[in-house]
Amino acid sequence: MLENISALLKQFLLFGLIILTTNFSFAQKTIEKTLEKFNNQSIPYISVEELKASEDALLLDTRERKEFDVSHIKDAIYVGYKNFNIDSLTEQDKNKKIVVYCSIGVRSEDIGEKLQSVGYTNVYNLYGGIFKWIDTDNPVVDSTNTPTNKIHAFSKYWSKLVTKGDKVLN
């Protein structure tokens, strides 16, 4: 009888360990892990805190128009991703501090690389993008510059990476 209880206890502990391990591996789907997987860090990161302390940086939103219209960081300029046109920035000083961002920092890295390839020298990628911005309780505005709690979550998968705000998928 004691052997049966011992065997049952071992099975229970093993089952518990499997559950904990499974939950831990799913919990690893974070912005940090996603950036490690998809980015090569070719564009230096700037943190939310560093951006907030930064003066006169040009902020470029590299998401799609529908994402930008739902919400964006105040004073950001929409440049897009699929239809990004480097010529739209021809009047900018190539040494000016430029911060690119998207949902978490994957698409913005691509745009940052394009900027560097034509001579922009002071380009940074917002670490964690607008999702990290929202998750650290920073304000965003909609297409009419009105403060909003909405955040375009890009897709059902990516929506798991943002924990605050009213998620929009469209």
- Indicate the SS3 state at residue 158: helix
The encoded tokens of residue 42 equal 């070719």
DSSP-derived pairing of the beta strands 140-141 and 147-148:
antiparallel
Give me the count of residues in the chain: 170
In the residue annotation, 102 being an active-site residue is answered as: yes
- Indicate the SS3 state at residue 152: strand
DSSP-derived pairing of the beta strands 123-126 and 98-101:
parallel
Residue 20's Cβ-count burial label (10 Å; 0-12, 13-18, 19+) is exposed
What whole-number distance in Å separates Cα of residue 71 and Cα of residue 152? 7
Active-site choice (51, 79, 102, 162): 102
Is 73 in contact with 165 (CB distance < 8 Å)?
Answer: no
Show which residues are catalytic. Answer: 102
